[in-house]
């Protein structure tokens, strides 16, 4: 009976599997005629882009060069279309959570307050059905991030077409994530005991948490100065690369006051932090610029932080940071929502962010902040061929139609569960 049931269900189980990862690039490929958005703010209206063995070998104006088409195995005539570097999703739980409402499918946090040794990479599920739906909108790389506690653990950057987490790893353990304690927000509600009691208790709790962090970082820095400490401490070992500059310190914080305090805290230990969230970053943009502090800005599609903030404040923050010269990129919450990342950036275009700067903030800027800009983030010769062809504007949900995408030169399968469901019900109702 069980064997019979297995054979009955087998076609459905196989259909539910995500597409198999693409094989290595077999021969040289040329894309010609497209409007190329290079990711650095520049645009080539009529471009020629070639790549071979996973690396970009040519980025040029097609009207100024002569191309020997016979040497290419495949040529894409992309006239009227657009080419972009692969979008990069920072601060995501993609591959760590499959269904938000089902605890058994969540693997992004550990028990305890301080877990810098927890590695998000080894929990990353390359077979997640969410991943193909994300890359179908041009998101080809992601930073998978742990959550919970004061120090959540280490994140890693992955490419989104792999057999296992080892294959997926693009930059391993790029940084440690710190959840800065939350101070009382001005205008917050108070309890019946009275506002002064609430304010005092909240401030005491905040200061206590900061002092705990200070003690931990003092101990970690002292430990890192020892070459071969005995006995070894796994939590402190995971912090060692922070103090040598090999890892970033990602500080999750939103309030203007605590953003400033977090930056000054990190600088006391010789660390250069990256602010994650940064809802109030627009209020301290000059401070962030002066301290050369990058920001991974939370999504634009959200409500303002305070009741008295302008209703469009989340939309204008990206433009304000750009105008102030702050290095920033944009993130999207959760896992499956990463498919909306280009639209988060595109929405900011209508509120002060230049169009190519919007492309740049999810390509080159994200790559710089995550420490992978030497290999990806822009269309340049010598970099990995992480790019895609779009029928229209990739930041506009009305025209974001990806017709071909490549990760390290490999032509990836753009099919996914959502497209499969669309085909099924279109066939049911006789739609095309």
Mean pLDDT for the stretch of residues 263-287: 96
Contact 228, 258 (CB under 8 A): no
Residue 201's pLDDT band, with cuts at 50, 70 and 90, is: low
φ/ψ of residue 169, rounded to 5:
-55, 125
Dihedral sign computed on CA atoms, order 395, 396, 399, 400: positive
64-120 residue pLDDT tens: 999 999 999 999 999 999 999 999 999 999 999 888 878 788 888 888 889 999 999
Model confidence at 7: pLDDT above 50: no
Contact 388, 138 (CB under 8 A): yes
209-220 residue pLDDT tens: 999 999 999 999
**DSSP 8-state secondary structure symbol assigned to residue 290:** H
341-386 residue pLDDT tens: 999 999 999 999 999 999 999 999 999 999 999 999 999 999 999 9
Contact 235, 116 (CB under 8 A): yes
Give the DSSP H or E segment for 135.
helix 130-135
283-320 residue pLDDT tens: 999 999 999 999 999 999 999 988 889 999 999 999 99
The predicted structure's pLDDT at residue 203:
73
For helices 341-349 and 313-324, what crossing angle results, to 10°? 80
Bridge partners for 175 per DSSP: 155, 248
**DSSP 8-state secondary structure symbol assigned to residue 106:** B
Contact 142, 134 (CB under 8 A): yes
Whether the model clears a pTM of 0.75, i.e. scores above it, the answer is yes
The predicted structure's pLDDT at residue 228:
86
Q: How far is residue 209 CA from its own chain's centroid?
A: 28
Q: How far apart are CA 144 and CA 171, in angstroms?
A: 11
Which domains does the chain carry? 19-86+377-415 (2.30.40.10), 87-374 (3.20.20.140)
């Amino acid at each position: 009976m069980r064997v019979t049931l297995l054979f009955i269900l087998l076609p459905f189980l196989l259909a539910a599997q995500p597409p198999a990862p693409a094989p290595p690039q077999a021969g040289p490929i040329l894309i010609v005629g497209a409007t190329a958005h290079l990711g650095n703010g520049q645009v080539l209206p009529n471009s020629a882009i070639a790549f071979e063995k996973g690396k970009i070998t040519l980025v040029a104006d097609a009207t100024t060069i002569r191309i020997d088409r016979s040497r290419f195995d495949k040529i894409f005539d992309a006239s009227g279309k657009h080419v972009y570097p692969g979008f990069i999703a920072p601060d995501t739980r993609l591959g760590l959570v499959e269904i938000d409402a089902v605890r058994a499918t969540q693997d992004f946090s550990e028990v305890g307050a301080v877990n810098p040794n927890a590695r998000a990479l080894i929990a990353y599920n390359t077979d997640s059905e969410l991943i193909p739906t994300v890359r179908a909108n041009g998101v080809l790389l992601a930073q998978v991030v742990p959550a919970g506690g004061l120090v959540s653990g280490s994140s890693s950057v992955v490419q989104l077409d792999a057999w296992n987490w080892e294959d997926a790893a693009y930059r391993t353990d790029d940084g440690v994530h710190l959840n800065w304690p939350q101070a009382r927000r001005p205008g917050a509600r108070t309890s019946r005991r009275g506002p002064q009691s609430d304010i005092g208790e909240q401030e005491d709790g905040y200061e206590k948490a900061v002092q705990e962090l200070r003690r931990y970082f003092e101990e970690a820095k002292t430990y890192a100065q020892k070459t071969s400490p005995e006995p070894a401490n796994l939590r402190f070992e995971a912090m060692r690369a922070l103090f040598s500059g090999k890892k970033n310190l990602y500080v999750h914080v939103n309030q203007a006051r605590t953003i400033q305090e977090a930056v000054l805290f990190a600088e006391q230990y010789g660390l250069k932090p990256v602010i994650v969230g940064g809802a109030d970053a627009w209020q301290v943009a000059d401070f962030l610029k002066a301290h050369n502090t990058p920001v991974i800005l939370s999504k634009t599609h959200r409500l303002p932080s305070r009741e008295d903030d302008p209703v469009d404040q989340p939309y204008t923050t990206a433009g304000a940071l750009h105008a102030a010269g702050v290095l920033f990129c944009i993130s999207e919450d959760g896992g499956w929502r990463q498919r909306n990342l280009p639209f988060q950036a595109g929405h900011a275009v209508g509120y002060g962010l230049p169009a190519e700067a919007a492309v740049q903030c999810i390509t080159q800027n994200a790559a710089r902040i995550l420490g992978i800009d030497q290999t990806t983030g822009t269309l340049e010769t010598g970099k990995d061929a992480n790019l895609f062809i779009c029928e229209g504007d990739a930041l506009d949900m009305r025209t974001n139609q990806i017709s071909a995408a490549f990760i390290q030169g490999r032509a990836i399968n753009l099919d996914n569960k959502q497209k499969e469901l669309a085909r099924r019900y279109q066939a049911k109702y006789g739609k095309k």
